[in-house]
């Protein structure tokens, strides 16, 4: 399909081939988009360069979203390549590792809270602010990635749950603000996927099998499935959708009791 033919799209959050942002880039490249990618730091540059090559992407820009000046620099660099911008994809989340292992009330710190909200939530607003100029008159789209932990508790997601709740609220406020410019703002709430961000998480394999067995589709989702939903939301096919959180989780969020078989009598 060619849902994004001729659209210029910035993707933030590719670390390696397992990244959700990589599934999004693949789907968008297959749908005719012109892509630019950022990478967080020199350590990840090599990985991202190789992937960019596979997708025929020429524009690669370093950007730590914790820095206002790096965000600004990203868009001035982009402006030297493109006349305009149609969409921004934000697939970034981070909390200090210690915040994601243990009892919420004990492991959450003021500093960890600040970092989690800064990198995982504020950064989406920071990107929108700077993207506005290049997106003028384009009826563009902004998209971020969230997780069910924003709405319900699960072990160890802790302060990230708060940061994702903040991110989802900012999707709604940004939808109003950016709506005045003709742009749409949405989130995809993805089911669990084994990515770099998930690799350090205790019992992640168990979480994957728990989710697969309790999902209506009976399996976990892939980053390409997230990518295809992202392609739809970014395309003109979704021109009526804004301020929305779309679940791409095989239906997991909608079941309270998938099966009774494993319960005891
Ligand atoms: P990933 O590790 O592949 O991607 C996370 C990205 O965030 C990396 O590219 C990393 O470089 C980037 N990042 C972190 N701090 C940054 C900073 N200061 N500046 C710039 N970039 C920074 O993992 P992923 O699972 O693909 O995560 C992408 C998004 O998807 C995140 O928002 C995550 O919360 C969300 N998500 C993940 C899952 C899952 O199970 N993997 C499920 C739902 C939502
Ligand atoms: O949003 C995420 C990933 C969040 C994340 C993961 C890490 C691990 C390494 C943010 N920051 C860090 N920092 C690190 O140092 N997911 C939805 C995946 C995920 O992470 C979890 C999960 C799930 C699911 C953490 C605990 C419990 C469940």
Query: Is residue 258 predicted with pLDDT exceeding 80?
Result: no
Is pLDDT above 80 for 175?
Answer: yes
Q: What is the mean pLDDT of residues 122-148?
A: 98
- Can 173 be counted among the known catalytic residues? no
The b-or-e profile of 16-43 (16+ CB within 10 A means b, else e) is: eebbbbbbbbbbbbbbebbbbbbbbeee
Q: Which two tokens stand for residue 256?
A: 């309270």
Output b/e per residue, 202-231; b: 16+ Cβ within 10 A: eeeeebbeebbebbeeeebbebebbbbbbb
Query: What residues does ligand 2 touch, defined as CB less than 6 Å away?
Result: 93-95, 97, 100, 147, 154, 156-157, 160, 192, 197-198, 200-201, 207
How far is the centre of ligand 1, averaged over its atoms, from the C-alpha of 91 (Å)? 5
Q: Is 39 a catalytic residue?
A: no
- How far is the centre of ligand 1, averaged over its atoms, from the C-alpha of 144 (Å)? 10
pLDDT tens by residue, 56-98: 999 999 999 999 999 999 999 999 999 999 999 999 999 999 9
- Residue 192, helix vs strand vs coil: coil
Q: Is-contact 203 194, C-beta < 8 A?
A: no
pLDDT above 90: residue 259: no
34-39 and 245-248: which strand pairing? unpaired
Contact 157, 100 (CB under 8 A): yes
Question: How far apart (Å, rounded) are the C-alpha atoms in residues 28 and 224?
Answer: 10
Judge contact between 66 and 123, C-beta under 8 A: yes
> In b/e form, how buried is each residue of 44-75, taking b as 16+ CB within 10 angstroms?
beebbeebbeebebebbbbbbbbeeebbeebb
184 pLDDT band, cuts 50/70/90, is very high
Alpha helices in 12-41 (DSSP H): 20-30
Residue 200, CA atoms < 13 Å, CB-side half-sphere: 11
- Alpha carbons 183 and 108: distance in angstroms, whole number: 36
Nearest to 86 by CA among 168, 30, 3: 3
* pLDDT number for residue 191: 98
β-sheet bridge partners, residue 62: 39
Q: Can you give the pTM of this predicted structure?
A: 0.98
Taking the centre of ligand 1 as the mean of its atom positions, its distance from the CA of residue 13, in whole angstroms, is 6
């Amino acid at each position: 399909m060619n849902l994004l033919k001729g659209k210029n799209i910035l993707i933030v959050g590719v670390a390696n081939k397992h990244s959700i942002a990589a599934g999004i880039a693949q789907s968008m490249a297959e749908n005719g988009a012109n892509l630019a990618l950022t990478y967080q730091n020199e350590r990840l540059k090599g990985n991202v360069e190789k992937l960019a090559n596979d997708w025929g992407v020429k524009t690669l820009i370093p950007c730590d979203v914790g820095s206002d000046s790096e965000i600004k620099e990203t868009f001035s660099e982009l402006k030297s390549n493109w006349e305009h911008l149609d969409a921004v994809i934000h697939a970034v989340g981070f909390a200090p590792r210690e915040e994601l292992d243990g009892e919420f009330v004990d492991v959450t710190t003021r500093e960890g809270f600040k970092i989690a909200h800064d990198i995982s939530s504020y950064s989406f607003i920071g990107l929108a602010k700077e993207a506005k100029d290049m997106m003028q008159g384009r009826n563009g789209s902004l998209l971020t990635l969230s997780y069910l932990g924003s709405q319900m508790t699960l072990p160890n997601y802790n302060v990230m749950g708060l940061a994702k709740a903040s991110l989802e609220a900012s999707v709604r406020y940004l939808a109003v603000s950016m709506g005045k410019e003709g742009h749409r703002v949405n989130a995809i709430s993805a089911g669990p996927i084994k990515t770099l961000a998930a690799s350090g998480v205790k019992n992640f394999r168990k979480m994957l099998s728990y989710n697969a067995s309790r999902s209506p589709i009976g399996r976990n989702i892939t980053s390409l499935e997230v990518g295809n939903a992202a392609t739809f939301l970014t395309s003109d096919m979704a021109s009526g959708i804004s301020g929305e959180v779309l679940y791409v989780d095989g239906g997991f969020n909608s079941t309270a009791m998938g099966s009774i078989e494993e319960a005891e009598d």
